[in-house]
Chain A
């Protein structure tokens, strides 16, 4: 027997496992390794702080997301020995592989910033990138009586790079509905040089920042948090005081990546940008947030990558040359508050552009423009996620970005979209 082993059963790993079921020869097994018994629909975390109580709809038992003959091994990965093609697991077990997919994602590392993790963590300092974090923030916002709420992105890359702006737009709506918007100051402290760094996005979207009265502190690279004084200090000694800090901490890859010598300075795996093969080893492929690619760390990217990867895993099994088909395509709904959302669609070479996005069966959706249908699209996506995306059923969105319906800008874009959608290369 030959073995395909997938490390990580998040969006990326689960999708590719389910897709490979019908695509591996009969003498291949598929094993997926993930210690967590629950699969979390991460886009759902954005709405929890603002009162959503749909935890039961954004989590599902792991076994219900993996189909057919896939073996789920609930261990943690200790290390990968690429030379001997062995994965060692907690508990001393070892798995041999013929092909390996690293889909172990990206996690927040609040410990990287002194002062973030301490007595005030999940009291006056919060995150919303974990289920517990989003729930604690929901309690904190419910009892918030006004003052300055600072949202700080510590450093790039982060998962879902539009989430910070979405959070602030939703916070504006939340406090407005509670009749206390005038008592809340919303501040966005970002290490980047603008809220939206790309020309077209900035032109089209900067009105949102003014409309929602968000103050922006740019090129703010957080060095330390003084939790007692409630102050955030940057490396160049600027200070921002807060009443409530919502931090998007440094992100990094899974610890085993670095332990195996397969990671870059943040534990992300150097990956060929179009074929998704690991640069270090021909038997290893990388998918989703675990890569070091400048594409966004987002579910839609993992989906478009999975379509290229399923083809390349099959080609690797057959000993054929790989398809260089991944173009950095991302497609995201961006919540703008009060029941509206934007849709953006871009890739490595083309920045998000205005126009329409053709969606067979549903009709064209406006790009880079707020609308209700985009908001409903975002909410409806949860159903698609569980019932079509994860099981690996086809969705009516093409793998490669298409220029159909888009209005080209005068200047050529950069893959680092809008709200800083790209990762550090």
Chain B
């Protein structure tokens, strides 16, 4: 389905994850985050940048443990930044698919 974020039409699946990571822009991230009740801070951006870089490298979105181990942002902090399911929410804001078996 199509959804408008940050003034652009993007395609998302029924769980709200973008289906084409190439359509993503930082403005879209701001809009998706806003919808989830978040205001993005530099710490959020650090996580988002890691997720996008890692996904581009590995061909799949990183799970929570991978983010906490490699991004320099710990699990506890990830929960504060992206409440409930940080792996899932960070991927959604970063324009990536839902991580497999994600939390």
Seen from chain A, the residues whose Cβ lies within 8 Å of a Cβ on chain B are: 155-157, 161, 191-193, 219, 221, 223, 234-236, 264-266, 294, 411, 415-416, 420, 422-425
In the complex, the chain B residue whose C-beta lies closest to that of A411 is B14
Known contacts being A155-B64, A235-B76, A265-B66, is A221 close to B103, with CB within 8 Å? yes
- Is B101 touching A424 in the complex (CB atoms < 8 A)? yes
Across the interface, B99 reaches (CB within 8 A) one of A234, A415, A424, namely A424
- Cβ–Cβ < 8 Å partners of A221 in chain B: 64, 75, 79, 85, 103
- What residues of A have a CB within 8 angstroms of the CB of B65 in the complex? 155, 265-266, 424
Q: Is the CB of B84 within 8 A of A425?
A: no
Q: How far is the CA of A264 from the CA of B67 in the complex (A)?
A: 12
Check B56 for interface membership: any CB of A closer than 8 A. no
Find out whether the CB atom of A223 lies under 8 angstroms from the CB atom of B101: no
Secondary structure of the A contact surface, majority rule: loop
B66 pairs with A422, CB closer than 8 A: no
B101 touches A156 (CB 8 A): yes
Q: Could you tell me if A423 and B101 are in contact, using CB atoms closer than 8 angstroms?
A: yes
Closest chain B residue to A250, Cβ basis: B65
Say whether B79 contacts A236, CB under 8 Å.
Answer: yes
- A236 vs B103: C-alpha distance in the bound complex, in angstroms? 13
Given contacts A155-B64, A266-B65, A424 and B102 within 8 Å (CB-CB): yes
CB contact between B76 and one of A223, A415, A423 (< 8 Å): that residue: A223
A307: shortest Cβ distance to chain B, in Å? Answer: 24
The CA-CA distance from A294 to B61 in the complex, in Å, is 12
Interface pairs (9), CB distance under 8 Å: A192-B103, A193-B88, A219-B84, A221-B64, A221-B85, A235-B79, A416-B100, A422-B100, A424-B66
CB distance from A342 to the nearest CB of B (A): 20
**Chain B, range 36-71, C-beta contacts under 8 Å to A:** 60-61, 63-66, 69-70
Q: How many B residues touch the partner, as a band?
A: 20 to 34
Residues of B within 8 A of A219 (CB): 84-85, 103
B83, CB-defined interface residue at 8 Å = yes
User: Chain B 66-101 against A: per-residue CB contact (8 Å), 1 yes, 0 no?
Assistant: 100110000110111001110010000000000111
Shortest CB–CB separation between residue B87 and chain A, in angstroms? Answer: 8
Further pairs besides A235-B75, A265-B65, A265-B69: 13, Cβ < 8 Å: A156-B63, A157-B101, A161-B101, A221-B64, A221-B75, A221-B79, A221-B85, A411-B14, A424-B100, A424-B101, A425-B61, A425-B63, A425-B101
The interface residues of chain A lying within 8 Å CB-to-CB of B84 are: 219, 236
Closest chain-A Cβ to B100's Cβ sits at a distance in Å of 4
Query: Which 5 pairs between the two chains have the least Cβ-Cβ distance?
Result: A156-B101, A424-B63, A191-B103, A425-B100, A235-B79
In the complex, residue of chain B having the shortest beta-carbon distance to the beta carbon of A270: B58
Q: How far is the CB of A346 from chain B (nearest CB, A)?
A: 14
Of A192, A235, A236, A264, the contact of B101 (CB 8 Å cutoff): A192
Complex: chain B residue closest to A235, CB-CB = B79
Chain B residues whose CB sits within 8 angstroms of the CB of A411 once the complex forms? 14
Residues of A within 8 A of B79 (CB): 221, 234-236
Residues of A within 8 A of B88 (CB): 193
Q: Which residues of A contact B76 (CB under 8 A)?
A: 223, 235
Distance of B38 from chain A, by nearest CB (Å): 14
Q: How far is the CB of A350 from chain B (nearest CB, A)?
A: 15
Is there an interface contact between B60 and A236, defined as CB atoms closer than 8 Å?
no
In the bound complex, residues from chain B placing their C-beta under 8 Å from that of A424 are 63, 65-66, 99-102
Kindly list chain A residues whose C-beta atoms are within 8 Å of the C-beta of B99.
Answer: 424-425
Contacts of B78 in A (CB 8 A): 235
Determine whether the beta carbon of B66 is less than 8 Å from that of A264.
yes
> CA–CA, A422 to B66, complex, Å?
16
Which of A223, A234, A415 is B100 in contact with, Cβ under 8 Å? A415
